[in-house]
Every structure is written in C-alpha cells, then in structure tokens.
C-alpha cells in the first residue's frame, strides 16, 4: 500500500478549519482568536522548519547533529513548561526546574528505549532518536507544567495552612505533602487518560502515521504500546522531580515559607 501524499493546497484547506475556529471565538467573544491564529502560524512555521532540518540531519546522520537537535528541543520544552503557569518561581528557577526535570526523565527513558528495547545501529540514528525524544519531551512537558502550576497555585491559596503546620513543628515536606500529592495527580491525569482510552476512544498519532505510511497494523501497535509506556514513565518521573525541586524552592534553609519567590503571570 502506497502512502497518499498531500500538497500544500491540501494543507491550506485544513487551515480553513482553524480560521473558522478563530471566527467562532470572535462571534462568541471568547477573546481566543489571536491565540488560535498565532498558534496556527507557529505550527506551520515550526513544522516546516523542522521538516527541512530533519531532512538535512537524516542525510548526514552524525551524533553531533542529533545532540544539537536534542538540546534545542530541550531548551524550547523547558520554556514552554513554565510559559503558561499562573504563578511561577522567579529568577529563572521556573525554567531551570522544568528543564532539569525534562532532562532527567525524558532523556533517560528515551536513551533506555534506544539502547535496550529498539537496539538499532547506530543507537543515535535520527529516524528513531529524534521522534522518540520529541514524543517524550512533549508529553512530559505537559505533565510537569500542569503539576507545577497546581502546586504553586495551591501553595499561594493555602499559605495560612502551610504556615500553621510549620509552626506546629512539621518538616517542610510534611507541611506541603498533601499539595504535592494533589499536584502529582493533576500532572498525571492526561497520561493516565490517554493510556486508558488508547485504541478504544482514539488512535494515537504515531500509530496512525505508521498505518497511513503502510506499516502493518500489528507492528504499529507494538511501537505504540512501547511509546505509551515510555510516556507514562517519563511523565511520572519528571513530575516527581519537578515537584520536589519546586516545593523545596518554596522554603528557605530555615524551613520558612517564602511565597515572595512566586510571581503572578499576567
């Protein structure tokens, strides 16, 4: 079975759906049309540039180019992790915590998959390494962003409760433990929902793409199962690391709550 190629005119027709959505936002006074249009333009520009870059990298599959691409992806994911938080740590901490958490989780799980599960030669072959890392970073980014946003917002709202617990002699980890658990749940809900509904409610993007390109469905299924497990592990590990670092930053060395370190995002 051959894959049906799309022209740029076909893509432009699909873009009409986004324009209709923006028009609906204007009609309903949702004030989302600018964000929708900007996001649509970014989608086209970013994916077009990535497509050109990947063609160059695939043609010259050296470790250096793969590492550079991975660093750029990590840097952008770190920014997006903290970009839409209601309240976030200042002084570059929000970016640093998100980036470190993404690196320790996504890169570790992706490297494990490339070396142990897939075992391709060379292990950094860009056709495998870059898509796998991209899916890991994208899903882990969402989990970390949701969990940190929930933690910081709840810490601000429940600051009096936290301070009372500290005055009663609780360690900072005990004083904020319930908030961390709730934030962890919030960060993992999208991943758990995706795992619970995959194959029944939706066919994931990677599996769909492989089937459209002519891959046997059972092979696409095996790859998708691997990806779902990798995403769950990456999101879980990354969220745990991010919540620990973020919660620790809310307290000073004398275990005093320091909410002045939080900045409201307008």
Under the banding of pLDDT at 50, 70 and 90, the label for residue 3 is: low
Residue 257: strand, helix, or coil: strand
Gap between the Cα atoms of 12 and 1, Å rounded: 26
Task: For 93-127, write each residue's pLDDT tens digit.
Answer: 889 999 999 999 999 999 999 999 888 888 899 88
Neighbours of 104 (CB within 10 A): 16
pLDDT of residue 30: 87
Place of tokens 């840097």: 75
DSSP 181-249: HHHHHHHHHHHHHHHHHBTTTB--HHHHHHHHTT--HHHHHHHHHHHHHHHHHHHHHHHHHHHHHHHHH
Task: For 13-47, write each residue's pLDDT tens digit.
Answer: 999 999 999 999 999 988 889 999 999 999 999 88
109 near 143, Cβ under 8 Å? Answer: no
Q: Is the pLDDT of residue 161 over 90?
A: yes
pTM of the model: 0.82
């Amino acid at each position: 079975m051959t894959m049906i190629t799309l022209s740029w005119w076909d893509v432009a027709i699909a873009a009409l759906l986004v324009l209709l959505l923006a028009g609906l936002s204007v009609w309903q006074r949702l004030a989302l049309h600018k964000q929708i249009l900007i996001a649509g333009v970014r989608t086209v520009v970013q994916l077009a540039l990535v497509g050109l870059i990947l063609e160059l990298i695939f043609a010259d599959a050296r470790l250096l180019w793969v590492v550079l691409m991975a660093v750029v992806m990590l840097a952008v994911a770190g920014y997006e992790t903290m970009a839409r938080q209601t309240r976030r740590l200042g002084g570059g901490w929000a970016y640093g915590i998100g980036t470190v958490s993404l690196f320790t989780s996504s890169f570790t799980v992706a490297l494990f998959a490339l070396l142990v599960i897939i075992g391709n030669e060379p292990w950094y072959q860009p056709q495998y390494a870059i898509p796998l890392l991209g899916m890991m970073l994208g899903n882990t980014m969402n989990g970390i962003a949701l969990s940190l946003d929930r933690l910081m917002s709840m810490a601000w709202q429940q600051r009096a409760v936290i301070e009372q617990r500290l005055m009663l002699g609780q360690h900072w980890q005990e004083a904020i433990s319930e908030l961390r658990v709730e934030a962890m749940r919030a960060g993992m809900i999208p991943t758990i929902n995706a795992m619970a509904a995959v194959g029944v409610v939706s066919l994931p993007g990677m599996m769909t793409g492989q089937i459209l390109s002519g891959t046997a469905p059972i092979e696409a299924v095996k790859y998708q199962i691997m990806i779902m497990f990798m995403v769950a592990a990456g999101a879980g590990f990354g969220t745990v690391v991010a919540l620990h670092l973020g919660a620790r930053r809310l307290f000073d060395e004398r275990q005093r709550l320091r909410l002045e370190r939080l900045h409201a995002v307008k």
